[in-house]
Structure 1
């Protein structure tokens, strides 16, 4: 797995954790964190697939 894929995965997990914390606290800002998690998960799939096809 490339370095960019690892960074995207870590960022996705952090965004999911931030979304959970926001929703537990009753803050609707968690919607932004959910959207960020979606974008970073797509980045992870893209970078992961790119490194597998280049081998």
Structure 2
């Protein structure tokens, strides 16, 4: 049975971006320890994925706030 896609994929995407960020930092540390300057690329990837995580978290918070304001009070 196929799963139903979530109406709000932002938290899941934020978690994936954080995982990529942590893995990129670990790869940068390993690269620098081995004496390679390739770690700079990993640091840049960590920065991009960190920004993506913050973007998805903020977008989800704004969507929740908008839903709360748009809900009619009875």
RMSD: 1.0
Number of aligned residue pairs: give it: 55
Tell me the secondary structure at the aligned position of residue 53 of structure 1.
helix
In the TM superposition, residue 12 of structure 1 has moved relative to its aligned partner by 0.3
By percentage of residues, which structure has more helix? 1
Structure 1 length-normalised TM: 0.95
Q: Which has the higher contact order (CA 8 A, sep 6+)?
A: 1
Gaps spanning 5+ residues in structure 2: where? 1-9, 65-74
Are 2:49 and 1:37 equivalent residues in the alignment? no
1:25 aligned partner: 34
Structure 2 length-normalised TM: 0.72
In the TM superposition, residue 41 of structure 1 has moved relative to its aligned partner by 0.4
- Cα separation, 2, equivalents of 1:20 and 1:52: 32
In the TM superposition, residue 9 of structure 1 has moved relative to its aligned partner by 0.4
Q: Which has the larger radius of gyration?
A: 2
Gaps spanning 5+ residues in structure 1: where? none
